[in-house]
Structure 1
Amino acid sequence: MKRLRVDEPPLSSAPDITTDAAPLIALKPVQTLRRRWPALLAMLLTAAMLIGLGHELLDHGLAGLRRAVPASPGFYLFFLVSYFALPVCDFLIFRRLWDVPADAFPALNRKRIANDILIGYSGDAYFYAWARARLHMVAAPFGAVKDVSIVSGITGNLTAFLLGAVALPLGYQLIAPDVIRAMIWSLSFALAISLGVLLFSRRVFSLPRRDLWFIFWMDCLRITVTCVAIALAWSWAMPSVSVGMWMFLVAGRQLVSRLPFLPNKDLLFANFAILVIGQDRTLSDLMAFTGASTLLMHLLLTLLFGAVYVLERMREWRHTD
């Protein structure tokens, strides 16, 4: 029988558990990071939104809130309707697509706030991360988020084109010729982009056609509700101006907001509104107060949803302990 030397390790047929388990142990931090990156992205975007909102409010938002405050409660009622039209319609869309629960509504509000305050489509990236964190609910969130964003953009461009066809012949005398040319070029470019997407729709979109039509009509409803509600809000704040005139101005506002190559859009709309209505001081105060109220709503909702998120995480930690 062969004798083992002292310096030789004993032979064993059992597998080396430490060696086999090492790769699995090394993978755990990577898997944990993959599971947690949506939450990390959400926290980073929330912090960025708070910083952006603070900058906007300290820059000119608080000055707008200090101006003449509308006394009519109708202004605040219709302002809230116009504010929540977008997240409510988005919720109905994703409710149909994914059967999302009620906690999708705060995420959709964050999506809207991030798109308004941060760079474009940052909110869509956040909502994609939110959906990825709930893959048991949806298999391919990227395609749906992409399609909803594209259809929303196409709907906005088509609406702007229709409004331009109505508003420009009526108000072209109040606008400088070079601005009108810039508006026409911008409208043509936006319409060309939309038509190009529609021509290659089979390669661009991943959702079924019936879902795309549902998204389109919901976006039309959202734009209509937003425009009508803000026009009614302004008519309650300034009853001396007719609702029809406010609707005309809101149509111009919607048109200007969709033009890609037009600088100083807010200033252009404000000057156009003053030329149409007059009462430059009262109107400028109303526009400033509306913008500041929107920023304030962004801030309040961001703080509210952030507090709810922190409370939920604290409850989870208590249950795990």
Structure 2
Amino acid sequence: MDWKQERKGLDRAQAAPAVPPTDAAVAIGLEPLRAAKRRWPAILGAGLTVLMVIGLGRELFGGGLDDLTGAVPTSPLFYLFFVALYFSLPVADYLIFRRLWGVPPAGLAATIKKRIANEVLFSYSGEAYFYAWARANATVVAAPFGAVKDVSILSAVAGNAMTLLLMALSVPLGHELLPQAMRDTAAGSAVVLVAMSLPFLIFSRRVFSLPRPELWWIFNAHVVRLVAGTVFIALAWHFALPEVPVAMWLFLAAGRLLVSRLPLVPNKDLLFANFAIVIIGQDQALSELMAFTAALTLVVHVVLIAAFGLHHLATRGRAL
């Protein structure tokens, strides 16, 4: 065989299509590593979903629904603004990632699960779930880590900026309502918030991956979402207890946002409850309303997770 025949044989061998692994090879663990690596986002997403179900079950069986038996708001507008409040965060996230990636409507379910995971499991578990979802949907985005990271950081920076703004506006008005120790804690918290945000601003070119116009758009979207959420919860509370003026509820909702983001406050729920009772004065009715709102949020979590599970089973059944 001369060199030309050898060359033709080599070319035919290189051009031959790769033989897919047989069932026997897969069964004994010889499936290509690349295929196994492609499955890890789906495995991570499924694992976090299972943890969400476990966390919701623990909340339910731990008495999370006991507060639903108390005073129940009768105004439909309470539930309307509660729904608007609940979906303000996932809808904002969906709009952000739709702008960045062109995410299809199915991405809204992923952002809802992102919110549930962050509340039921632990901080940033929702970001881990959404990152896994984005990796599993490779047709949507090829490299999602940078965008997920930037959106999460800007969400925290926007929250810190809103907190500092609310502190600057509320301290001159309500500093006499707080004891000296609490004022010192608030001042220390402000310093911590500034210290947490400054590195991202100083080293923004190294920290962020997205273009600067996109970063500003995302930051503004988070600010709008925070303001809208504050207005929605204030209106919901107003229609639950209409004898309290809307302006007072807006002030209280701003205080809720402020207290929720203070890093050095050990018992934020207790602090906010005491602050609200001092401002409004209806301690029992207010306590029941806060407890009912928290229990209703848990109910919505459970209903949505169950709906997503049933939809997945139905879709999988049709595919089979």
For 1:242, the aligned partner's letter is: P
Which amino acid in structure 2 is aligned with residue 53 of structure 1? L
In 2, the alpha carbon distance for the partners of 1:247 and 1:21 equals 63
Separation in structure 1 between the aligned mates of residue 32 and residue 118 of structure 2, nearest angstrom: 32
- Rounded to whole Å, the distance in 2 between the matches of 1:65 and 1:32 is 48
Deviation at 1:295, TM superposition (A): 1.0
Which of 286, 309, 312 aligns to 1:309? It is 312
Greater Cα offset, 174-183 or 249-258? 174-183
8 Å contact kept, 1:87–1:108:
yes
Q: Structure 1: which 5+ residue stretches go unaligned?
A: 1-14
Distance 1:64 1:52 in 2: 18
The AA in structure 2 aligned to 1:82 is L
Q: Is 1:38 the counterpart of 2:48 in the alignment?
A: no
User: Which of 229-238 and 257-266 deviates more?
Assistant: 257-266
> What's the CA shift for 1:165?
0.9
The answer to whether 1:187 aligns with 2:171 is: no
TM-score normalised over the length of structure 1? 0.89
Q: Secondary structure at the match of 1:89?
A: helix
Q: Find the counterpart in structure 2 of residue 289 from structure 1.
A: 292
Q: Which of residues 68, 87, 90 in structure 2 aligns to 1:87?
A: 90
Distance in structure 1 (CA, Å) of the matches to 2:197 and 2:261: 12
Given that residues 231 and 246 in structure 1 are in contact (C-alpha distance below 8 angstroms), is that contact kept between their aligned partners in structure 2? yes
Q: Please report how far the alpha carbon of residue 247 of structure 1 lies from its aligned counterpart in structure 2 after TM superposition.
A: 0.5
Supply the distance in 2 between the matched residues of 1:197 and 1:39 (Cα, whole angstroms): 31
Cα distance in 2 for residues equivalent to 1:21 and 1:241 = 70
What percent identity do the matched residue pairs reach?
54
Whether contact under 8 Å (1:57, 1:292) holds in the other structure is no
- The change in CA–CA distance for 1:118 and 1:21 in structure 2 (over 3 A counts) is closer
Alignment match, 1:277:
280
Aligned length: 299
RMSD after superposition: 1.9
SS of corresponding position for 1:100: coil
Distance 1:56 1:290 in 2: 15
1:1-321 matched pairs, under 5 angstroms: 27-28=30-31, 30-316=33-319, 318=320
Deviations 1:118-152 (A, max 9, x none): 11100100100101112222121000000000000
Query: Amino acid of the residue matched to residue 250 of structure 2?
Result: M
2: CA distance, partners of 1:253 / 1:65: 21
TM-score by length of 2: 0.89
Report how far residue 45 of structure 1 moved: 1.2
Post-superposition shift, 1:21? 9.1
Q: Which amino acid aligns with 1:111?
A: K
Paired residue type of 1:299 = V
Q: Structure 2: where are the runs of 5+ without partners?
A: 1-12, 14-18
1:92, distance to aligned residue in structure 2 (A): 0.6
Deviation at 1:29, TM superposition (A): 5.7
